[in-house]
Amino acid sequence: MTIARTLDDACAALAADPTATVLAGGTDLMVQVNRGDRIISNVVAIDRIPELRGWTREGDFLEIGAGMTYAEMADPGFAALVPALGQAARTVGSPQIRATGTIGGNLATASPAGDMLPVLVALDAVVELRSSNGRRHLPLDEFVVGVKANALTAGELIVTVRVPVLHGPQEFMKVGPRNAMVISVASLALVVDPAGRTVRVGLGSVAPVPLRATEAEVMIGGRIDWDGGGPPTTGDVDRFGQLVADAARPIDDHRGTAAYRRHVVGVMAQRTLVRAFGMVGEAAA
């Protein structure tokens, strides 16, 4: 058991024993340990490393420490800068889970239902990894490589996640059997980049990895009235929903059917678009 106090301590402990288990918030790991699905012997706890806590702003980018908790991301001061991430963080588990679970843990677990992942893929987030041998940066789609699979190699830690501040509307939605304590059946993040004149859509729980709805993004980006600020037409909203649904690659499982997931991401796409831009006949939000 090592309770690391600095990043160098943690990297050294992992270099000495690359098979050691990394413990951050524990909200995923301890479930496996309690069930007996995972036996842990040597543990490196990384929840007391100041370098992994909090966030910093550099111009129009945020460096989010891997140890930032869901509760911290849902805090209004942070959520105002990356609203979709704040909204997504607030939907995770319960207050008890949000107090300890971290963005780095969501990435390390790399579950298809990880609620931060559709937001991070929509934001083109970049993950910084560190080991005693150095550091490297991976875009999100190269970091999450499959169902609960990521690009971390032995001895490596997630250190920060870099996301842009986009100065446009952002929305996150997820569907589950009830409001609280729900694992996503399907989730969607929509972020608008007014400077780049793009609408970006990330999908969760509808494929082994978080997806972008590229065709839908290109279509709606070309139809938005970027200078006038008017809302998209109902025809555009319908078409957008259809293209987002087409982008999903869902499966049937115990949480929902593929057909339902495909349908519901289309509906969420339309609703988030209307929330971001308003509807024909009313002022933009």
Partner 1 sequence: MSGDPYRLTVNGRPVEVFDGHPGESLLFVLRERLGLPGSKNACEEGECGSCSVRLDGDLVCSCLVLAAAAADRQVVTVEGLADTDDGAGPLADVQRAFVEAGAVQCGFCTPGLLMAVDALLCDEPDPGELTVREAISGNLCRCTGYGRILEAVDKAATMRREARS
Which residues make up the interface to partner 1 (CB under 8 A)? 1, 3, 23, 25-27, 29-31, 33-35, 39-43, 45, 47, 93-97, 99-100, 179-181
User: Which residue lies nearer to partner 1 by CB, 11 or 29?
Assistant: 29
4/177 Cα distance (integer angstroms) = 39
At its nearest, how many Å lie between partner 1 and the CB of residue 37?
11
At its nearest, how many Å lie between partner 1 and the CB of residue 7?
17
Residue 114 half-sphere exposure, CB side, CA atoms within 13 Å? 31
Pairing relationship of beta strands 2-3 and 43-45 according to DSSP bridges: parallel
Task: Look up residue 3 and give its amino acid.
Answer: I
At its nearest, how many Å lie between partner 1 and the CB of residue 175?
17
At its nearest, how many Å lie between partner 1 and the CB of residue 104?
15
User: Which residue lies nearer to partner 1 by CB, 184 or 270?
Assistant: 184
| 165 touches 82 (CB < 8 A) | yes
User: Which residue lies nearer to partner 1 by CB, 32 or 133?
Assistant: 32
Give the number of other CB atoms < 10 A from CB of residue 271. 16
118/172 Cα distance (integer angstroms) = 9
User: Which residue lies nearer to partner 1 by CB, 100 or 198?
Assistant: 100
181/126 Cα distance (integer angstroms) = 28
